[in-house]
Structure 1
Amino acid sequence: MFLLAAPSLGSGFVPAGVGRAAPFALGGVGVLLLAGIYVLTGVLSSAPDEGGDTEGQSPETPTPERRPRYASLGESFARRLDEVSWTDRRETTPAARRSLRDDLRAMARRVLADSDQWSRSEVESRLDTGSWTPDLDAAAFFTDDVVPELSVRQRLRSVWSPEPVFARRARHAIAALANRATDTPVTPDLREETTAGQSPSPPASVRAYWGPGAETARERRSSRADGVVVAALALGGLGILTLTPSLLLLTLFGVVVAGYARVATPPTDSVSVSRVLDVEAPAPGTEVTVTVSIENTGSETLADLRVIDGVPPGLRVTEGSPRFTTALRPGKRASFTYCVEAAPGRHAFEPMLVITRDVTGLQRREALAEPAPTTLTCQHPRRPAATEAHRRRTTRFPGVSRSNTAGAGVEFHSVREYRPGDPLSRVNWKQRAKTGEFTTIDFDESRLTRVVVAVDARRETYQTVGRDADTPLVRASIAAARDIAMACLDDQIPVGLLAVSPRSCWLAPHAGATHRDRIQTQLTENDAFSWTPPAADFDVERALGTLTRQTQTATQVVVVSPLIDEEIVQFIRLLDAHGYTVSVRSPFPTEEGVSLSAGEGYAVLMRRFRINSLRNAGIHVQTEGTLEPAGAEETS
């Protein structure tokens, strides 16, 4: 710089050799360092704040063509296996391993005693010797220590395998036990989505992608511009070091692109959208065609316009795509169609996501476009009830049950002393003629049976069983609840509805055509039975209080639940303790011919134990579905 300012001072100085190349080398190294600093600052500035996106990030767009990913039934068991690690071998008493071993050994005692009719001592002996199964890994889970000695081969395997030997043996033990208890094959593998380290799936709905913010539009700058700047600086540094003019020209191009990205503004999002369904109230399984139209209402040409329709979570796209990409001049219109399969429930379409980008793709604007409200309503199909829904007490009149209360009736109950005001028709005149005493005859008082169907719709029931399953277990419970309610109404039995969920739903027991429509509407449209799981936790005491305030203990309660956790069992036992006549319908559908994972096998065994515990307490449990515990049938 000094020589450039006063060139006459350097007229007698002519650099040669290293002195001549040193300025270019220092300049090239400086530019490369600048590129490295830019990359470092970009990485640090792109770290997201809590719960927010950064400007440079472009998250994955939603995938409305598929349903949301519900939790797999085997995730709880997979989490327990994740607690077992290679490092806990150094602990004196590894708590996670010890707890898992004790639980599975207690499970093995019950399964082997039931399936093979072995005595307690024989079960313990076979577990200790490993003779209960031909699976060597399953046998070693109980015969070896919780911190087993590893062979040379196992130590080498631990270098590249993240799963400890103890966890692998636990999976095999569960599979061996579950295969003894059910007819559905169970493998020792875990579902990929339940294993640790899996990247989260992109949001399935537009609402989930957009987040809870109240904004309806936002701008994003593509991080590719930062990559262009880094590449330009790196090429410039190399061009200076190697004295290559072509690299310096590429640097100039990168500088121009980066400068454009800084000064350019995102394109407008002035568009008008509409959505039309060819059928708004289809039958289940019907293919419904959705037509979406977009019009450019602005004055600028939209070079890159992308639209993603807000398909409801409960609908599956069967043909076409809810995504559309086009270019629109001002005043022009474009449209696209796709098909969805109707599923029971009330499905409100979400807003559309409209993305406009400039010609370079570096600037983009996202906006939520609200067409006219679109709702698809699909009623539950009527299925014949396999057995009676409630616990019938035989009488000669439909909808009437025998009560323990004495009063007016037709069947003899008892004889008591006469009380002033007793009807003369119930005075025992024969007794009066013989002994001279006045007595009154009481009969069994007939009362109308009332039934409340309690549907388990807690967050825990929004789980799936089987590979690639996208229908949560709660949907089978809702369908079964409708069948029970309709069967009761067909028998002229007043029936009510209760949602066992943090989202409330209550209908008092009634009968008649109007009440039938009311129950169908609630099961189809009430938010408690939607395809989206509730965010809040279930309060057992609150649900019990709702029922006890609205009904008498003479009301029969039918709980419809897959029985996949202990909380619902606690609720059922509390109902029984309060004096209600309780019965349980437990649907548990799975795909035929599909094997279960080890985690799902663990859940199936635990469900079997819950069913047996309720039956041992005198509570009637009826199971249904393609997957049932062996020997689970019960006659009543």
Structure 2
Amino acid sequence: MSMTMIQQVHRHRYRSLLAVTAALTACGIGTGSQTLLVTAIVPLLFVLQDALATKPSLTNQLSVERKLSPEAPLPGQPVSVTLTIMNTGDSTIPDLRVADGVPTELGTIGGNPRASAILRAGQKLTVNYSVNTNRGTYEFDPVQVRARNRSGTIMIESKIAPSGQSSLESRVSVDDIPLSNQTMNITGPVTTETGGSGIEFYATREYQTGDPIGRINWNQYAKTGQLSTIEYHEQRAVRIAIIIDSRVSAHVSSQPSLPTGATLCAYAATLSISVLLDEGHTLTIVALGTPDPIRSDPPPAHASTDEETAFGAHAAMICNAAATGSDEMMTNTDTDTDTSAVAGDGGIVDQHRLLSRLDSNEQVLFCTPALDDAAVSIAQSIRADGHELTVLSPQISNSDIGGRIAHLNRTNRLFRIRRLGGTIVDWKRNETLPIALSRALRDINSQ
């Protein structure tokens, strides 16, 4: 995309003094006052300086480029913005000031989108800053540029649409998870204590007709002349239910520009689905507080690899719906919430609906920010129903007084869930999701 000059406006600093000069001259002539006529010379000199001054021009003199890294961030992932302004003309711009058009929804977390410089011919001005993204698509406004001549009598203001990236999209989608985030240090499908095909040695037995040649113990045959077959620990896929806490109480963020707890939970569920499907596990996805985006069923939304062939697409829609929520659900607060009485937000009826979606032998990965006591009640129901439970909990509170209180309450809830027999993976704010998730999936595979 090429750079475009959208608007250019010249402003003369002393042009307004022309009216003052005319008024003083008229009064001096009308009254015959030489003092007024001499006084009129002073503003006239400024007007003449303004008229004779060299007019700066930004047309074909500036090259502006914007780069975003990464271009398609995941929710909560910082984005580095680099704005490069180059003087491609033959003359110096003695006073150049620029301000990038940062989307109002994004919060600047580092650097400054504004800069000023004396920009000589062929020189570059680089502006670096970082923003934090929530879910959604964001459009950058044109770059605002202001330049003055050496005397400061004339100013030119321009809006320039730079080359490079002008928008970014942050979303949760199975297909959009970077491959580098999928190659995590986790174990594969659950290893059993029975022999068969696999990769980890289990035992040897007598050779039987039809055994694969690749599993014959040729070393023993060379020593003893007797055929034997190598057996490995069999690896069997397990049934795993991934539960997203997208209730009203989970749609909370410490800052407007940061993702909510529900968004982070949906992000974790999306990556979990991708990894666990690759390992051949049977999956169920459940989103508490979210109606089904396809069937329009009441909460919780659910999908299962047992029930449908298009599980991936349905699961992606559920994750997107869980992460987005509704406008009424979005809250910015550091305090705990207690909305368990709201329909679709973790009450007894919703817990019964949740348990009805789970198979009796499914292990459960419960992604919740644990911002209310209903999260503990849900975990208790899952454990009482006989399911192994791993809880992945994103930390979203700030370090101010309200955030500290919320953090203490959350810590207490996670402790109560641990006492119920659940495994807790505390996803701290300075920890990347793949690292936290690798611990959670490792715990599931070891159960």
TM-score, normalised by the number of residues in structure 1: 0.32
Higher helix share: 1
TM-score, normalised by the number of residues in structure 2: 0.44
Higher strand share: 2
Structure with the greater alpha carbon radius of gyration: 1
